[in-house]
Amino acid sequence: MTIEYTAAEEAVKLVKSGNRVFIHGGAATPLKVLSTLLKRAGEISGVELVAISTYGQIDWNHPEVQESFYLNSLFVSENVRGWVNSGSGGYIPVFLSEIPQLFERGYLPLDVAIVQVSPPDHHGYCTLGTSADIAVSAVKNAPIVIAQVNPRMPRVLGEGIIHFSRFSAMVWEESDLIEVDYAAKTDDISKKIGEQVASLIDDGSTLQMGIGAIPDAVLANLRHHKNLGIHTEMFSDGIVPLVRNGAVNNSHKKINTGKIVSSFILGTHKVYDFAHNNPAIDLLNVAYVNNSDVISRNPKVVAINSAIEVDITGQVCSDSIGTYQFSGIGGQMDFMRGASLSEGGKPIIALPSVTSKGVSRIVPHLNEGAGVVTTRGHIHYVATEYGVVNLYGKNMDQRARLLASIAHPDHRESLAMAYHKRFGRMIKGI
Q: Catalytic: 233?
A: yes
Cα angle 146-152-153, degrees, rounded to a multiple of 5: 55
> Cβ distance 335 to 348 under 8 Å?
no
Cα separation, 360 vs 365, whole angstroms: 11
Cα separation, 29 vs 24, whole angstroms: 5
DSSP string, 328-350: --TTHHHHHHHHHHSTT-EEEEE
The catalytic position among 233, 368, 385, 413 is: 233
Cα separation, 102 vs 50, whole angstroms: 11
Q: Up-side HSE of residue 187: CA atoms within 13 Å toward CB?
A: 5
Cα separation, 26 vs 131, whole angstroms: 7
Cα separation, 296 vs 303, whole angstroms: 11
User: What sign for the dihedral angle of Cα 80, 82, 83, 84?
Assistant: positive
E strand spans, 331-422 = 346-350, 362-363, 381-384, 387-390
> Cβ distance 147 to 115 under 8 Å?
yes
**In angstroms, what CA-CA distances link 123 with 23, 126, 153, 164, 170?**
26, 9, 18, 9, 16
Helix (H) or strand (E) holding 113: strand 112-117
Among residues 55, 285, 273, which one has the least CA distance to residue 154? Answer: 273
Query: Looking at residue 428, what DSSP letter applies?
Result: T
Among residues 262, 337, 261, 229, which one has the least CA distance to residue 293? Answer: 337
Cα separation, 176 vs 95, whole angstroms: 31
Cα separation, 245 vs 385, whole angstroms: 27
Residues designated as active site: 233
